[in-house]
Amino acid sequence: MTISCKSIFPANIRTVAVTAPAGLPDREKLRSALRYLKACNVNVVDYIADKGSEELSYLAASAEHRAASFNQAINDPSVDMILCARGGFGCVHILDRIDFGALQQRQLPVMGYSDISALHCAMLKNSAGIAIAGSNLIGIEQAAQDTLSLTTHRTALDRQQQKTNLAPSTLKQLRPVLPGATPAVNARAYAGNLSVLTSLCGTEFMPDFRGMILILEDVNEAVYKLDRMLTQLLHNGIFDQLQMLIFGDFSGADARELDILQKRLASQLAIPCLKNFPFGHRFPMNAVNSALLLEIPEVE
């Protein structure tokens, strides 16, 4: 079967290592995604560990095997980026086993979202690699189907980029959480999953977000649970470090209660807060490179 390809990969990405540091990808979705990569003339190196003796169905393999496979990808000189197969759960098991020294030397882009947020946090903490919040492998073909996802993924992966301007469609969606315009901000941005980020509070893997923009998303969480997690970040001083807080997509949450929660939190903070950033567990997805400056103009 021939697959036409709108490639999300810029010219500097020729060889992609695929890994599964967390959950086990659906085999049919995996095969389809790999066909897409090959149709885009991207060389694929498969570092997805065998399930082996791991008895828990939600894990791709044992922590030892997942970490070893990820480290193999880091140390493969042919690899231009690492693409995580899916999220789910499990990255936290391997954070203390990753060869951050090698990743720091190579500064490889590592792309994914959802549970991959834990991996990205540890990368930021260790100043290792380039954390790119974007599609996992099994959604990569879908990411190429709309203009926003396609262009922002290409920009995020382009090593020639020094900064990122918001796509017009993203800027059109953004709204201040509280009445009044928010000031322009120019800073590095981290986009990640709220549940995963909260779970790292008090661990050695929580990064320093000072001077950054924080973009949060989650899926199928009741608003009271979102409240609990946001309050935990508040009490841990995370929001005090930021230049701006942006709420991404919270699909599955009650819209009215979510709006109330966002306004209440924003009123407690001394930083500007925006909402409706298109990043989360559905497309379109505005990919975010944590190493690039993100320019956000005044939003009314």
185-242 residue pLDDT tens: 999 999 999 999 999 999 999 999 999 999 999 999 999 999 999 999 999 999 999 9
- State which residues form the domain around 205: 163-296
Residues 140 and 167 in one domain: no
Whether residue 105 is contained in a domain is answered as yes
pLDDT number for residue 2? 45
Binning pLDDT at 50, 70 and 90, where does residue 117 land?
very high
Q: What total of structural domains would you count in the chain?
A: 2
Q: What is the pTM of this model?
A: 0.96
Residues 192 and 239 in one domain: yes
User: Above 80 in pLDDT, residue 15?
Assistant: yes
* Domain CATH number, residue 57: 3.40.50.10740
Over residues 96-120, the mean pLDDT reads: 98
Residues 205 and 237 in one domain: yes
Residues 28 and 119 in one domain: yes
Whether residue 287 is contained in a domain is answered as yes
Residues 110 and 40 in one domain: yes
Q: What percent of the chain has pLDDT over 90?
A: 92
Whether residue 220 is contained in a domain is answered as yes
* Average pLDDT, rounded, for the chain: 95
Point out the domain boundary residue: 98, 115, 144: 144
Whether residue 171 is contained in a domain is answered as yes
User: Above 90 in pLDDT, residue 23?
Assistant: yes
Over residues 250-276, the mean pLDDT reads: 98
Over residues 31-49, the mean pLDDT reads: 93
Rounded to whole angstroms, the Cα distance separating 249 from 215 reads 10
User: Above 90 in pLDDT, residue 6?
Assistant: no
Whether residue 10 is contained in a domain is answered as no
Residues 178 and 252 in one domain: yes
pLDDT number for residue 1? 42
Residues 71 and 188 in one domain: no
Residues 139 and 225 in one domain: no
pLDDT one-digit tens code per residue, 263-275: 999 999 999 999 9
* Domain CATH number, residue 185: 3.50.30.60
